[in-house]
Amino acid sequence: MRGALRNQRFLTLGIESSCDDTAVAILEGQSKVMSSLISSQLELHAPYGGVVPELASRDHQERILPLLFSAISEAGIKDPSSELGLIGVTAGPGLMGSLLVGVMTAKALAQAWELPLLGVNHLEGHLFANVIHSPQLTPPFLTLLVSGGHTEVILVKAFGDYTLLGCTRDDAAGEAYDKLAKVLGLGYPGGPAIDRLAGLGNGDAFPLPVPMADTLRVEFSFSGLKTAVLNLLHKLESDGAFPVEDVCASFQKAVVRALLVKVDLAVRMTGVKRVALSGGVAANSGLRAAFLAREDWQVFLPPANLCTDNGAMVAAAAYSGYWRGHRSGLDLSPDPALPLVSD
């Protein structure tokens, strides 16, 4: 019987299309990745310095089916209808047009192949990237979720039991990286380029403010830091000296400090010392080094390919939700502002 036995070659198809990456993966059980393919739209959006929603959804439409069939064949699946146990798809948050492509595709396949369907929250997906990489990671743990759209600290009391301890008041950490990169002409997305340049510079060259460092709440704000670094750039320009590596290193030092200080606060507030990083910014070398240096925490870091958007994390979240009893109907519709809710 299909999907009868948990963990016994139960295969989940995960589909992610919430923003600018079309991603599909096949996961066996909770954490064995059988195939994971991503079609990146970086080149498509690069000339615009950010994601253009109309271009994103059109590209998802063109790429999703070929990608899906490649992922299925790479996983050695001959008959999806009898071999797959579940289809998981990101239902939000994200761009409406992009989400629609994934959700409509998942619904059509679920109907054609007579498979159960589960819409998952993209943020829950990100936190499950850690479960794929570290199957020994069990709740309770804290997750710092840092991406282009989110900067949040979540207490995972159990899978399906999430408490948002705090988030950003304005820009997300990844957004701050992308905005600085745009001004510096480093292209989109800016995180990797700034990270690389920061590694060549001196983080103490320009003291930048560490936002919210002294408040006793888990909260972030990156718009003030963005303004401070833009003012610094104007000053350096008028001085005629432009040590871009030092600017990037100083910016990265402030961002990492702002994130670390609040995770530290969350650890003290909850007494939970297992800390997992997730989301695209979790690929940042400065952030990873700062976390790994915390010998008083048990730190979990997914590899870079699981930090950024991927289908495996969606499949893993769907697998967990399915065995917690969740199912979606064929009336599933995407929600661009889908909140992360507990069971």
Whichever of 109 and 255 has its CB closer to ligand KG4, that residue is 255
Question: Which option in Zn ion, ligand KG4, none does residue 189 bind, with CB closer than 5 to 8 A by kind?
Answer: ligand KG4
Main-chain dihedrals φ then ψ at residue 11, nearest 5 degrees: -105, 130
Question: Which option in ligand KG4, Zn ion, none does residue 171 bind, with CB closer than 5 to 8 A by kind?
Answer: none
CB of 294 to ligand KG4, least distance (A): 19
Beta bridge partners of 13: 26, 87
CB of 192 to ligand KG4, least distance (A): 5
Whichever of 107 and 288 has its CB closer to ligand KG4, that residue is 288
Whichever of 22 and 147 has its CB closer to Zn ion, that residue is 147
CB of 178 to ligand KG4, least distance (A): 5
Site for Zn ion in 136-165 (CB under 5 A): 147
CB of 308 to Zn ion, least distance (A): 7
Whichever of 131 and 267 has its CB closer to Zn ion, that residue is 131
DSSP of 197-251, one letter per residue? HHTTS-TTSS----TTTT-SSS-B--HHHHHHHHHHHHHHHHHT---HHHHHHHH
Whichever of 108 and 289 has its CB closer to ligand KG4, that residue is 289
For the chain, the farthest-separated pair of C-alpha atoms sits apart, in whole angstroms, at 72
- Taken in order 224, 225, 227, 232, the sign of the CA dihedral is positive
- If binding means CB under 5 A, how many residues of this protein chain bind Zn ion? 2
The site for ligand KG4 (CB under 6 A) is made up of 19, 147-149, 174, 177-178, 189-192, 195, 279-281, 283-284, 308-309
Q: How far apart are CA 317 and CA 27, in angstroms?
A: 11
CB of 21 to Zn ion, least distance (A): 8
Whichever of 88 and 174 has its CB closer to ligand KG4, that residue is 174
Main-chain dihedrals φ then ψ at residue 160, nearest 5 degrees: 100, 0
Using the rule CB under 5 A, which residue among 56, 309, 319, 338 binds Zn ion? 309
CB of 309 to Zn ion, least distance (A): 4
Place of tokens 């800390």: 275
Q: How far apart are CA 35 and CA 310, in angstroms?
A: 11
316: which 2 tokens? 């893993």
CA distances from 130 to 36, 90, 139, 331 (A): 16, 17, 12, 30
Residues that bind Zn ion (CB under 5 A): 147, 309
